[in-house]
Each structure stands twice: as C-alpha cells, then as structure tokens.
Chains A and B, each alone.
Chain A
Amino acid sequence: MTTIWTPELRAFRDDVRAFCEENLPADIRLKVLAGVPLTRPDHMRWQDILAGKGWLVGFWPRAYGGCDWSAAETYVFQEETTSSGAPWLLPFGVNYVGPVIYTYGSTDQKAEHLPGITSNEVFWCQGYSEPNAGSDLAGLKTRAVRDGEYYIVNGTKIWTTMAHWADWIFCLVRTDAAAVPQRGISFLLIDLRTRGVTIQPIKSIEGDSHLNQVFFEDVRVPARNLVGEENKGWTYAKFLLGHERVLSAEVGKARRYLRRIKRLAARNGKNNSPRLKDRLSRFEVDLLALEQTTLRVLGAILAGEARGHEASVLKIRGSAILQQISDFAVDVLGTEALSYDPEWLRENAGMPLEEIESMGVVSEALYTRAPTIWGGSNEIQRNILAKHALGL
C-alpha cells in the first residue's frame, strides 16, 4: 500500500491548519460551527483572506496565479479548512469556470476573466440545470442564436445557487437544435447585469433562499463570450465535473459535524449513553472507510492510474454520510430542535454559539438533504458505477 503522506504533505497540512487558526475570523468560524447560513460578505471576507495568501486558487497552474498544488494538496487544503470551521469555498469560479477558461478559453478570455477569480472580485454562478433538464442535462433547451457579433439567449436556468449574489453566470446553452442533444450544446459566459436577465429567488425547506431561477429574455451576449468551440460545450462541462473528483467526500466537514454532536450530547447529558457512543463509533467507521478510500483514489490519481468512476463512489458515500450525521445531530437535540425559526436565526446570527446552535443544526440538517440530489444525483452516480465500473 502506498501512502500519499510525504513529509512535505504533512508540513503543508500543518501550514494550512496554522493559517486557519491565525486568520479565520472568529465571527465567521462561529457561524460555520453553529450551522448558521452565511451571507455574501461572510464568504467574500474569508475568500479575500485566502486570495491574499495566494491559496484561493491553489490548485491552478502558476501561470494563472495558482500554486500548482497536486490533487493531494488540494484535498488536504479542503479537509483542513473545513475541519477548522472555515466556510465552504465557493466552487463556481475557482473549481468550475476558472479551469474551463484556462484550459479551453481564448487568450482574451483568460485575460478578462481569470484575474477576477484569483483576486476574488468577480462572483460566479453555475447555469446548467433547467426545469426540464436536471439529471438529463443534455435535454437543456435554453437557446443561443447567433446574430452577428452576438448570441441572443432565451430560456431559463433553475436551482442556480447564489445567482442573486453573482456577477456572472456560466451557462450551457443550445446552439444547434438539430444535432444529437450532447452535440448541440455550447459553453457561454454571461454578465448577469445584461438587459433581459431576471433572477427570482427560490426558498428552500430550511427557510433560506440560496437557490434561484434565472430567466433570459432576448439577452444579447457578445459572441466572444463563447468558450472554446461552438457545440463542444458538453466536453467542457464533463471536464469541469472531473475537477471535483475527490472533493465531494467532505470528510473534514463530517468530522466537524461529529465533534459538534459530542458537544451537544455533553450539553444535554446524553454523552454517556451507550447507544449514542455506538452511533458515533459507527459514524467514525464510515468516515474511516470513506477517508481511506479517498486516499487510495488520490494515490491512484497521483500515479496516473485512476479509472474515473471513483468519483461516484466518493460522492455517493460522502453525501450519504454527511446526511446521516447531520440528521442524527437533530435527534441528539431532541425536542429542543422543535423550536426553529429561520428568520430569527438570520437576525441573530451573531449571538453566542449556545444560543443559536440548535437552530443552526436544524437548518444544516434540512439543507443537507440536497447533496444526494445535486451534482449528479446518487441514483445517477449508481447508474454510472453499474455501467462504467461494472460493465452492466
């Protein structure tokens, strides 16, 4: 068995840990630990700090402002930051559109868009899903019709996380209605301030409004905002998903949730319950299985031997475990969880941890129903495994 833990990687882990301890603002950390939904300024403040250190886009090539991190360093960075109570690093610019642009974009596009991501000045969102194209993404209908130096875009995107906070959206649009679905799709960058774009918030079950529906009505998008070639968007979209291979495991976040359960149990006098101890140990077993599998996958990636389907294993297990742990936290709260008011939580987000934590735990548990749905649902991931890993 090979290990990814070189002395350098350990040193890097210690660096990240120390950096978070020194630089993560206490108020943001408190909100994250409590499970309180973050605001745009919360996210931006932390990402500004990372950008200042040069770590916001650490896995990018040096030529584009990154640190050339390996897959292992990228993983360690995510695990350490989330475990320490740092906000989820918004992936839309850094993980999604940035790499697509530096891999497939034109020189002009790189110059126009990459600096805004590395400096954390431009907020991106992801416009893939549509009301009738979710799992079947290739069925998307938003049309982009070429008109001289412009594309005229009509249609709608839905479930667009944080579109109401974003400056730009990267979209998959249909440019050839006659071709087989996957072949008629293009990858287009759209400034959300363009006339004809409307953003409508969607409230989700925890009572917050991170989701949106974005409408495009005769939106004129400069043709230079097409990334790569027309009708090749599907290839770029698949490339983009490949970047998240090991990041959906989220072991660090799950460990943070487990630590919180121990804290809540101690507070409620349940920490000596054998049943609770069993549950926590079982979760730990699940997390070890996930973590060790993730490390093996990383080893394979570093050795150039990864087969590609591993991402589905990690996504299915990572999302399911996170869901079970966050739901269990609500059970540990008991009837305390029944006093829940998302508006109160938003207004009192700055209160001490003990005052807001029970509502935060509930909010987080409700929101955590989503990871098994998004990013290729767990059903779709199982289809991928059955077909590509097992040949069924």
Chain B
Amino acid sequence: MVFSLTPEQAMLQESASRFLGDRYDDAARRRFRAEDAGFSLDIWQEIARLGWLGSGFSEQRGGFGGGPIETMILMEAAGNALMSEPLLGSMVLPGSVLAEAGSYDDLAHLIEGKSLFAVAWDEPEQPSALEPATVAEPCGDGLAIHGEKKLVLGGQIADVLLVTAKLDGRLAILRVQSDVGGVDVRTHRTLDGGKAANVRFDSARIDRSDVLASGNEAPAVVSEMLARAIAAACAESLGAARNLHDRTLDYLKLRVQFGRRIGEFQALQHRMADMFIALEEAQSLSMMATAALEEPNGDHRDRILSAAKIGVMGRAMHIGREAIQLHGGVGMTDELPIGDGYKRIKSLSLMFGDEDFHLDRMNSLAV
C-alpha cells in the first residue's frame, strides 16, 4: 500500500519530527513523567498551538481539514519519540466522540487545548463497550450517574469526562465535569510509566443537555471511537517499534565484543533482518488500518482493523523482545528507553481488544 502524502501532510510529518527531535529526549521524558499529570502540560499546550490536536478533523467539524492520515502521522511520530503526553487518551478518543456526536464547541476546546477531555468507557466487568453496567437515572430535572470505569486514559487530569452509560436501557454518551460531586477519580501508575485513572460515579449529577449521544447514534459513536483507537494504537506501536529497531541497529554497529562489532556476527545480522521485515510489515498493516477508517463502518472494516491490530502488535512485540535481547544487559536497564518502548507496545497490545478479542472477532466475521 502506498500513501502519497499531500504537501500539508508532509509538512505535518516534518514539523512533528522536528518538534519532537528538539524538545523530546530521554531526559525530558523522564522529567515529564515525574510531573503530577504523568506528562507535561506545557508540551500539551505547545502541540495545541502547533495545531496537532485539530489536525485529524475536517473543517466543518472545527478541525484543520485533515483526517485519519494526519492522526496516523502524529501517532507514529509520538510512538517513535515514546511521548508520554496522552495523544490517544486525550486527543484521539475524545476527539472522535465529540466529532461524531456533533459537539463542536467542546471539540473546539479540545483542539485549542483549553480543556482536557477523556473517555470513560472501559469497565471492570463488561463484555462489550456497547453494554456498560454504568447507568444514568432521572433525578430532578437532570440525571444521576452510577457506575465504575477503569483505565480512563488521560482521566487523571481531564476537566471533562465523556462517559458511556445506559439511559432508559439504551447506550448513551454523557458529558460530566470531573470536579462535580459524586465523581471519584483515582489516579494510578501504568505499565508504560505514565498514569491513568479509575473513576467511580456515585450519583454524579448532570443536566439533560449533557447527553451527547443516545438512541441509534450512541453505538455508532462508540464503534467509530474504537475503530479510530485501533488505527491510532497501531500507528503508535509502529512508531515505538521503529525506535527500538533503529536503536538496536545502531547498537549492533557500535558494540564491540570478541574484537568485532557484534553486528558482524551473522547470527545477529539475521535477527536484525527479521526485525526489519517485521517493521516493514507492521508499517503496511498500520497504513491498511488507517485507510480502512475511510470505509463505511461494517463487518469488512472491523475485520481489517482486527487483522491490523493482531498483526501490528505481534510484530511490534517481536521487535521489542529482540531489542532487549540484542542489547544484552543494558537492554534490561531503566536508563535506556528500550524497556519503555517494550512496555508501551505491550500496553497497546492489550488495549482496545487484545489478540484473543480480535481473533474471536475475525473468526465471527469470517468471509
């Protein structure tokens, strides 16, 4: 698959990699992670000013005229820099929900970096994202929300939570200010070294006008969000895998044992060649996922996205394991970012449906 980037897309790619090259190194990432939010709010404001947050949305939706390819470009760059800012949790997921639900004022706030959003959709015991156990019940003029959400990406710092819940027995998406009574945000550390939150709603009150989507619209909004999340996770994993691939290649050319650069050992050359193949294929599958987002929602698209998720994650994990192994002892240290990349890829492989989930989905949609 070949994407020819438009001049604007090429510029975005160029500017993203320049910005990350200038502002983002291992020391910076460590510093940002140590901040309360688990990332740098300053960097978030800067990328908002650079137009990143609106790059994936069309103009009629308040964006800058882009789409899935722009998102892919940014996610790949963020993955490659092992960025800790929650592009997935605070840009892709809520951006998709707000755009699909037609909440353009909120989307404008997200794009400008004025408010931070997060989507609370995953639950501790929930078979399907479309069947939450969380409920919204009539309460006075408004609604009261009860329920529990886990792994809310960006939830540790969000001003506004977009919450999936059952309203009158049907799926709805609700807009909740994170600081209102009855919302309990519990921040925790994550495997990749960042943060996320578990959120409990105990009679959290909202207005009827905070129902962003309901009826037939809500499931479509959630499905679209998950589709975009999968493509974005693929692009980010690919970026992280490229980072590990490149570092390993550099290391094989640098490290000397037995009086030779270890890259001269044919056993390692073959391992590196296999990593290279894995990277190429992951790249192809990630592009395929992004291209699929332009297709109408349906079985065919779901199948392609599942295949991409399984394929990219498997290959990126392979690269991650090999990167540690071929670095030897230093590959095991927290000091080098190899472990960070590995843990990020592992995290992404478990999010938005793990391999089992997507194998089941492919099997059930078998052609």
What is A's interface to B at a CB cutoff of 8 Å?
Answer: 129, 132-136, 139, 158-159, 202-205, 207, 211, 273, 275, 330-331, 334-335, 337-341, 343-344, 362, 366, 369-370, 372-374, 377-379, 382-383
- Complex-state Cα separation, A344 to B188, whole angstroms: 10
The answer to whether B342 and A158 have CB atoms under 8 Å apart is no
Please name the residue on chain B nearest to A386 by beta carbon: B267
Do A338 and B190 form a contact, CB below 8 Å, given A369-B324, A370-B332?
A: yes
* B339 cross-chain contacts in A, Cβ below 8 A: 204-205, 366
What 10 pairs between A and B have smallest CB-CB spacing?
A: A205-B339, A341-B189, A203-B334, A136-B257, A340-B191, A136-B258, A159-B329, A204-B332, A369-B324, A135-B257
Do A377 and B328 form a contact, CB below 8 Å, given A205-B339, A339-B151?
A: yes
The answer to whether B321 and A369 have CB atoms under 8 Å apart is yes
The winner among A139, A203, A369, A374 for most chain B CB atoms within 10 A is A369
Among B40-59, those with CB < 8 Å from A are none
- Complex-state Cα separation, A374 to B329, whole angstroms: 8
CB distance from B356 to the nearest CB of A (A): 6
Among B140-191, those with CB < 8 Å from A are 150-151, 188-191
The winner among B188, B190, B268, B325 for most chain A CB atoms within 10 A is B325
**27 residue pairs A–B, Cβ–Cβ below 8 Å:** A135-B258, A135-B328, A136-B259, A159-B329, A203-B335, A204-B332, A205-B324, A205-B332, A205-B333, A205-B338, A205-B339, A211-B329, A331-B350, A331-B355, A331-B356, A335-B150, A335-B350, A335-B351, A338-B351, A339-B190, A339-B196, A340-B189, A366-B343, A369-B331, A374-B329, A378-B325, A379-B268
B191, B329, B334, B359: the one within 8 Å of A158 (CB) = B329
Among B342-367, those with CB < 8 Å from A are 342-343, 346-347, 350-351, 354-356, 359
What is B's interface to A at a CB cutoff of 8 Å?
Answer: 122, 150-151, 188-192, 196, 198, 256-259, 265, 267-268, 321, 324-325, 328-329, 331-335, 338-339, 342-343, 346-347, 350-351, 354-356, 359
* B346 cross-chain contacts in A, Cβ below 8 A: 330, 337
CB distance from B262 to the nearest CB of A (A): 8
* A379 cross-chain contacts in B, Cβ below 8 A: 265, 267-268
The answer to whether A344 and B189 have CB atoms under 8 Å apart is yes
A134, A275, A339: the one within 8 Å of B188 (CB) = A339
Q: Does more than half of chain A's interface fall in helix, strand or loop, or is it mixed?
A: mixed
CB distance from A380 to the nearest CB of B (A): 10
Please name the residue on chain B nearest to A159 by beta carbon: B329
Please name the residue on chain B nearest to A330 by beta carbon: B346
CB distance from A387 to the nearest CB of B (A): 12
- Complex-state Cα separation, A307 to B258, whole angstroms: 26
Please name the residue on chain B nearest to A270 by beta carbon: B356
The answer to whether A334 and B328 have CB atoms under 8 Å apart is no
Please name the residue on chain A nearest to B349 by beta carbon: A331
* A334 cross-chain contacts in B, Cβ below 8 A: 350, 354
The answer to whether B334 and A204 have CB atoms under 8 Å apart is yes
Please name the residue on chain A nearest to B324 by beta carbon: A369
* B328 cross-chain contacts in A, Cβ below 8 A: 134-135, 373, 377
* A339 cross-chain contacts in B, Cβ below 8 A: 150-151, 188-191, 196, 198
CB distance from B320 to the nearest CB of A (A): 9
The answer to whether A362 and B191 have CB atoms under 8 Å apart is yes
- Complex-state Cα separation, A362 to B107, whole angstroms: 37
The winner among B150, B332, B359 for most chain A CB atoms within 10 A is B332
* B334 cross-chain contacts in A, Cβ below 8 A: 202-205, 207
CB distance from A148 to the nearest CB of B (A): 35
- Complex-state Cα separation, A237 to B314, whole angstroms: 40
The winner among A203, A331, A338, A366 for most chain B CB atoms within 10 A is A338
* B347 cross-chain contacts in A, Cβ below 8 A: 338
The answer to whether A139 and B350 have CB atoms under 8 Å apart is no
Do A369 and B332 form a contact, CB below 8 Å, given A273-B356, A335-B122, A340-B191?
A: yes
The winner among B324, B334, B351, B356 for most chain A CB atoms within 10 A is B334
The answer to whether A202 and B356 have CB atoms under 8 Å apart is no
Do A203 and B333 form a contact, CB below 8 Å, given A338-B347, A379-B267?
A: yes
Do A338 and B359 form a contact, CB below 8 Å, given A135-B257, A202-B333?
A: no
- Complex-state Cα separation, A80 to B360, whole angstroms: 39
The answer to whether B267 and A383 have CB atoms under 8 Å apart is yes
The answer to whether B329 and A373 have CB atoms under 8 Å apart is yes
